[in-house]
Amino acid sequence: MHLDAFDLHQPTSVEEALALAQRHAGKFDFLAGGTDLLPNYKMHLNVRPHLISLDHVAELRAFRPEAGWLGATVRLRNLEGSSTLRRRYPGIAEAAEEIATPLVRASGTVGGNLLVETRCFFFNQSYPWRQALGFCLKADGDQCHVVPQKTRCYATFSGDLAPALMVLDAHAEIAGPGGRRRVAVADLYDPKGDGVRRTKLGPGELLVGVQIPPGAEHLKAKYSKLRVRPSFDFPELGVAVALEEKGGKVARLEIALGGLETYPRLMRAQTSPLVGERLTEERVKALSEDLVKAVRPVHNTFLAPDYRRKMTGVYVRRAIGALRSGS
């Protein structure tokens, strides 16, 4: 496996990065830590001739956990190493420290993790391997081998940070040719898309950073992850929970799930009926059963979809139990 030649651009401001993106429209990728993009390029997955590095853009490196701001190129290592972040947002610190290996976390960034390519065992393969199978619609082909049809990709979203940010109602700041805007991280992903295009970022738009809203630091929050090898594997299931109880009743309960489908999902339809109720054992059990029914993993990662669905209920019950007991 080798990297084909590309032109590397190194802008020093967001405006310069956006101008380069317009000049090379359709022929570039933004490059952050490169821990996801460059291995994909080595496997000849959707390679572009121009890379616009974000590493020299000072604005993107801003890290202010005391104000809830995480710049797009803040390294994952900084998240796990910050005592302020861990105290204020323990779920984010837990998610960050479970991503990949220390070496990957030293280069991998917040933005790269939120926008990480989806995974599938028919996609994350070398060019000759994929060629032998006739390729697939996510790269070089026109059919899906997991759910046989030609219109939608079901590759799995395997980023750990997104669910932990979604339950805190964090917002992503996006810069593009039309200016800047903020969208909830929960709305950054596009469930109505074809699964190949993963997010609602428009052409030439980049992620500037993430703002966690004031008050989120008062929520109890937790992230837990199911994976095959605890030393470095991608999530086969990621469960983030944020909880606030007042007077023995639920004031706020958010659950977001990753590692199961093409997009991480905030499960409000299942959690909002519990607001104002006591969180009894029966209600937690019913909630976990509702969640198991709501998720639809497919067979394109290591563990079987049925097992991942069943473990969703187990992980949700455990996480809520841990938050309530303070363990």
Ligand X SMILES: Cc1cc2nc3c(=O)[nH]c(=O)nc-3n(C[C@H](O)[C@H](O)[C@H](O)COP(=O)(O)OP(=O)(O)OC[C@H]3O[C@@H](n4cnc5c(N)ncnc54)[C@H](O)[C@@H]3O)c2cc1C
Residues forming the site for ligand X (CB under 6 A): 29-37, 39, 54, 72, 76, 99-100, 104, 107-109, 111-113, 115-117, 158-160, 206-207, 232-235
- Report, in Å, the least distance between residue 203 CB and ligand SF4: 22
- Report, in Å, the least distance between residue 263 CB and ligand SF4: 13
Does residue 144 belong to the site contacting ligand SF4 (CB under 6 A)?
Answer: yes
User: Measured from the CB atom, is 233 or 244 closer to ligand X?
Assistant: 233
- Report, in Å, the least distance between residue 165 CB and ligand X: 12
**Helical (H) or strand (E) element with 210:** strand 206-211
Does residue 267 belong to the site contacting ligand SF4 (CB under 6 A)?
Answer: no
- Report, in Å, the least distance between residue 100 CB and ligand X: 3
Q: Which residues share a beta bridge with 9?
A: 52
The Cα 113–Cα 106 span in angstroms is 13
User: Measured from the CB atom, is 47 or 183 closer to ligand SF4?
Assistant: 47
- Report, in Å, the least distance between residue 142 CB and ligand X: 22
User: Measured from the CB atom, is 120 or 242 closer to ligand SF4?
Assistant: 120
The Cα 162–Cα 258 span in angstroms is 8
Nearest to 61 by CA among 69, 71, 51: 71
The listed partner (ligand SF4, ligand X, none) that binds 39, CB under 5 to 8 Å by sort, is: ligand X
Site for ligand SF4 in 290-309 (CB under 6 A): 300
The listed partner (ligand X, ligand SF4, none) that binds 300, CB under 5 to 8 Å by sort, is: ligand SF4
Provide the residue type at 326 as one letter. G
CA angle 311, 240, 110 (to 5 degrees): 125
Does residue 138 belong to the site contacting ligand SF4 (CB under 6 A)?
Answer: yes
- Report, in Å, the least distance between residue 152 CB and ligand SF4: 8
User: Measured from the CB atom, is 80 or 217 closer to ligand X?
Assistant: 80
- Is there a contact between 50 and 7 (Cβ–Cβ < 8 Å)? yes
The Cα 227–Cα 233 span in angstroms is 6
User: Measured from the CB atom, is 159 or 209 closer to ligand SF4?
Assistant: 159
Please list, in sequence order, all residues whose beta carbon lies within 8 angstroms of the beta carbon of residue 89, skipping any fewer than 6 positions away: 65, 68, 164, 168, 212, 216, 217, 221
Closest residue to ligand X in the complex (CB): 112
Does residue 155 belong to the site contacting ligand SF4 (CB under 6 A)?
Answer: yes
Position among 30, 123, 263, 315 found at the interface with ligand SF4 (CB under 6 A):
123
Position among 31, 93, 153, 287 found at the interface with ligand SF4 (CB under 6 A):
153
Does residue 122 belong to the site contacting ligand SF4 (CB under 6 A)?
Answer: yes
- Expressed in percent and rounded to 5, the helix, strand and coil fractions of the chain are 35, 20, 45
User: Measured from the CB atom, is 49 or 215 closer to ligand X?
Assistant: 49
User: Measured from the CB atom, is 32 or 239 closer to ligand X?
Assistant: 32
Tokens coding 216? 């989120």
Please list, in sequence order, all residues whose beta carbon lies within 8 angstroms of the beta carbon of residue 204, skipping any fewer than 6 positions away: 18, 21, 22, 25, 176, 177
Position among 45, 70, 76, 136 found at the interface with ligand SF4 (CB under 6 A):
136
CA angle 304, 305, 309 (to 5 degrees): 120
Please list, in sequence order, all residues whose beta carbon lies within 8 angstroms of the beta carbon of residue 314, skipping any fewer than 6 positions away: 288
The Cα 243–Cα 90 span in angstroms is 12
Q: Which residues bind ligand SF4 (CB under 6 A)?
A: 120, 122-123, 136-138, 144-146, 153-155, 300
